Amino acid sequence: MKLLLDADVLIGALDGDDSHHRQARELFTSWREQQATPLISVVNLTEVLIAPAADRIRLATAREAIAALGVSVHHPNEAIGVHAARLRHRHPISIPDAYCIATAKNTGSTLISFDRKVLRAAEHERITAR
């Protein structure tokens, strides 16, 4: 099973103070047991790394934790970029959220997000999301 993560899920897993921390950690534990493959678009990875980027050591630690969680980074192609633009035009979502949804569609992944706007847009686009 392929899972495309929105930034908020990975931020929740990494940040013990995040309101979604417990839920995100439980998801990662479950996915590991199921041998699921978590992916994140490099666009959404950028969102995840904004806070850790303030400090070189925090950034390195975050990147190591992401690797330890088994998250693979997906690099969008032109088709995903075009699809993201269309999604951004159709829905009240950010460009990174549009990339998340477009990447889920392109990779045949289930989109995982805590953001209701992202989940609604994915549902409207007939993309499996949780």
The answer to the question of residue 129 being in a domain is no
| Element spanning 96, H or E | helix 95-107
The answer to the question of residue 43 being in a domain is yes
The answer to the question of residue 115 being in a domain is yes
b (16+ CB within 10 A) / e for 20-42: eeeebeebbeebeeeebebbbbe
Q: Specify the CATH number for the domain of residue 76.
A: 3.40.50.1010
Specify the pLDDT at position 75: 97
87, β-bridge pairs: none
Q: Dihedral sign for Cα 61, 32, 2, 97, please.
A: negative
Amino acid at 117: K
The answer to the question of residue 25 being in a domain is yes
113 contacts: CB under 8 Å, gap ≥ 6: 5, 6, 8, 9, 100, 119, 122, 129
Specify the pLDDT at position 18: 96
Q: Which domain holds residue 110?
A: 2-124
| Element spanning 80, H or E | helix 78-90
Low-confidence ranges of the chain (pLDDT < 70): none
Specify the pLDDT at position 51: 95
The answer to the question of residue 107 being in a domain is yes
Give pTM, 2 decimals.
0.93
The answer to the question of residue 82 being in a domain is yes
Percent of the chain with pLDDT over 70: 100
Total domains in the fold of the chain: 1
Mean pLDDT, the chain, as a whole number?
Answer: 97
82-to-30, 94, 111 alpha-carbon distances in Å: 33, 14, 19
Are 129 and 123 contacting, i.e. CB atoms less than 8 angstroms apart? yes
